Amino acid sequence: MAEINNQNNQEEKELQFSNEVIKKIAALSASEVEGILSLSGGVAEGFAERLGRKSLTKGVSAETGEKQAAIELNVIAKYGANVPQVFQEVKRRITENVRQMTGLEVVEVKMFVDDVDVEGDRKLGEEPEAQETTGRLE
């Protein structure tokens, strides 16, 4: 019986996930939430996208350890959305999906709202003009 437990522990130690995998799960989870128009990347990501290199994970960063992950997102929220409720739903979905798919515990989700926009006012994925983020939800 002890041998089986040792084998399971060894297998768990050999299973690792890259930050890119966690970022992709987080991006897909957040994009499903009503009130999020899009994820918004920084200037470098916006420049790369203009060159034809689109990234599903733009605006998402992740740090992954052996058993835990921390995630930050930059988003454009839909005008009129209850952003604190949107954040709670984003956090719930990311935490649930990362845990279900990887077994990792999400210890932190931070969401930075870069812009509030009316759907259709700008093409999804188009970057807002560079501006300093003033609001922060944790």
111, pLDDT greater than 50: yes
How high is the pLDDT of residue 131?
A: 42
Q: Check the CA dihedral 36-42-45-47 and report its sign.
A: positive
CATH architecture for the domain at 19-119 = 2-Layer Sandwich (3.30)
User: Helices then strands (H, E): number in the chain?
Assistant: 4, 5
Who has greater pLDDT, 37 or 3?
37
Given a contact cutoff of 8 angstroms between Cβ atoms, the answer to whether 76 and 115 are in contact is: yes
Domain ranges for the chain, please list them: 19-119
- What is the rounded average pLDDT of the residues 8-32? 85
Per the model's pLDDT, the better-predicted residue between 91 and 131 turns out to be 91
pLDDT tens, position by position, 48-88:
444 444 578 889 999 999 999 999 999 999 999 999 999 99
- What sign does the CA torsion over 135, 42, 16, 21 have? positive
Greater pLDDT, 129 or 108: 108
30-39, 41-50, 71-80: the lowest-pLDDT one: 41-50
Q: For residue 117, is it left (φ>0), alpha (ψ between -120 and 50) or beta?
A: beta
pTM (two decimals): 0.70
pLDDT, averaged across the chain:
79
